[in-house]
Structure 1
Amino acid sequence: MLVQPLRLDAELRLLEPFYAAEFLAHQDRARAHIKPWVGPTFVIDDLDGARGVLERYARDGRRIFGIWLDGVLVGGTMFVSFDTESGVCELGCWLEPSAEGRGLISPVIRRMIDWAFRERGLTRAEWRSLPDNARSIRVAERLGMTRETEELWALSSDDWNPPAPETADLDRVMDAMLAAFDNTGDRTPDLASLRDLFLPQAVIVNNTGPEPAVYDLDAFITPRQKILTDGTLTSFSEWEVAHRTEVTGSIAHRFSDYRKSGIRDGVPFEGSGRKSTQFVQTPTGWRITSLTWTDDPS
């Protein structure tokens, strides 16, 4: 499996035993956070244990790929199982708290599924999630997986829409944009990151009401930062369920269907709607020039 940069600030590398010290430092930051979701032998607290975990996975062929963000190991991913005879694989992924909501998991898992289906000829990818792991469930939904049991999600190669090379960077921008609003669990929303995703002159329009509400970037960010951090809107996340992207040279347009959920003023809610997002390619990558959305009637 070829390992390539995920984006300018993130990359995926094979997590070899010589990374044991970095792996231990990562576990020190992530141990309490990931412990409910991983096997007990995976959680270690000393250098020998860290080296032992990486050597064990290297020996049995279940290689771990580390996720580095800004030069720091912040998580990892692996094929929990990979059976070429049955054509079935299972994927797993984790992040430490500081890296959650940064748009990393979906592109990593997309890349692994695409490699398993297209390069190795597998026909089914599985993803297991405990019923109360909302973030993991969101990943499965974004990838177009079907929930087969309370804990099992799956996708067949017949239903796989591989990411087109020319839209992969746009996928990452959209993932990061939606992740900026996420305040589920202990996550602190990072709306300041939107300034790196949008052009400073971007126009943002909410066309849900009787008249369009038009914002510049500051007018869009400020009130949303407030309600996402003052307790008004909690457990909030939003995700794409379908999209179509058109690229013409250095401009692009994306049409998205989305869903969202959260608790506003103590009352749980769910919603859905559509987005139209326009982009231009700049020397530092794709950036959003305009965003328009409309919510479905509740």
Structure 2
Amino acid sequence: MFPFQVNESIVINLIQPQERDALYTLIDENRMHLREWLLWVDKRQSPEDLDPVIEMWKQNYEDQNGFDAGLWFDGKLVGMIALHYIDWKNKVTSIGYFLAASAEGQGIITKCITRLLDVLFNEMKLNRVIIQCAETNLRSRWIPERVGFINEGISREAQWLHDHYENIVTYSMLSSDWNR
């Protein structure tokens, strides 16, 4: 599946150990931007902190249990997209993503998710894909809304984020929705 060409400018590919420093630089340069919504950012204080994480990502992919992959735009690492745990019995997964502040507003994540949904529904034969976003993270919420996901509702105070609780909005797309 990888590298996965989204279009002429965007490639999704698994993060390799030799790309650890580039990934750390991306996180570090966008630390304040990402930290607003992602708790794990504070846990990545050096490139070496990524070594066990990259190994875990590799194992998850080998076990057909999702993936965490880099997003390259015009050859530059600008973010990541992930399929969290795949529930093969129920044919369900969830998508997570982040993007460098400098790469926002170009439709990169929207294009990646749109292309990825074709694979998830038509090749992997999954039935349901979920995206969850903090209710106040409007930029992140626009993505599933733009792609046509259905807003299933809000889980009140479902995530502790640094010093407060965030409501979480759950969006879903079914294979039947996608293939209409």
Identify the TM-score tier after normalising by the shorter chain. Answer: 0.7 to 0.9
Q: Is 2:141 the counterpart of 1:123? A: no
Q: Indicate which of 82, 85, 108 corresponds to 2:86.
A: 82
Distance 2:130 2:141 in 1: 12
Over aligned residues, Cα RMSD in angstroms?
Answer: 1.9
Aligned: 1:94 with 2:108: no
Amino acid across the alignment from 1:149: G
Give the aligned partner of residue 143 of structure 1.
147
1:36 is displaced (CA, Å) by: 3.0
2:178 matched residue in structure 1 = 160
Q: Distance in 2 between matches of 1:113 and 1:17?
A: 27
The percent identity for this pair of structures is 27
Deviation for aligned residue 1:2: 4.4
Where 1:45 maps in the other structure, the secondary structure is coil
User: Could you tell me whether the CA contact under 8 Å between 2:2 and 2:14 is conserved in 1?
Assistant: no
Q: Which structure 1 residue ranges, 5 or more long, are not aligned?
A: 163-298
Contact 1:122 1:157 in 2 (8 A): yes
Alpha-carbon distance in 2 for matches of 1:27, 1:127: 21
Give the secondary structure class of the aligned counterpart of 1:81: coil
The Cα shift of 1:5 comes to 3.0
Which deviates further from its counterpart, 132-141 or 55-64? 55-64
| Matched residue, 1:235 | none
Separation of aligned partners in 2, 1:7 and 1:119: 18
Structure 2 residue aligned with 1:113: 117
Instruction: Provide the rounded CA distance (Å) in 2 between the counterparts of 1:16 and 1:37.
Output: 25
Aligned-residue offset at 1:42: 7.6
TM-score computed with the length of structure 1 as normaliser: 0.51
Which residue does the alignment assign to 1:246?
none
Bigger Cα Rg: 1
Q: Whose helix fraction is larger, Structure 1's or Structure 2's? A: 2
In structure 2, how many angstroms separate the alpha carbons of the residues matched to 1:43 and 1:99? Answer: 23
Cα displacement string for residues 98-156 of structure 1 (whole angstroms, at most 9, x for unaligned residues): 00011101111112222111111111010001101111111111111111112100011
- Partner of 1:103 in structure 2? 107
Q: Distance in 1 between matches of 2:92 and 2:39?
A: 21
Secondary structure class of the residue paired with 1:125:
strand
Asked which structure has the greater RCO (Cα within 8 Å, sep 6+), the reply is 2
The alpha-carbon distance between structure 1 residues 75 and 42, as it changes in their structure 2 partners (threshold 3 A), is: farther
8 Å contact from structure 2 (residues 35, 41) kept in 1: no
Q: What's the secondary structure of 1:154's corresponding residue?
A: strand
Question: In structure 2, what is the Cα distance between the partners aligned to 1:110 and 1:81?
Answer: 19
Contact 1:81 1:91 (C-alpha < 8 Å) held by counterparts: no
Q: Larger % of strand: which?
A: 1
Structure-to-structure mapping, 1:276-291, within 5 angstroms: none
Matches of 1:115 and 1:39 in 2, distance apart?
Answer: 29
1:7 deviates by 3.2
Is structure 2 residue 74 aligned with structure 1 residue 70? yes
Q: Number of paired residues? A: 162
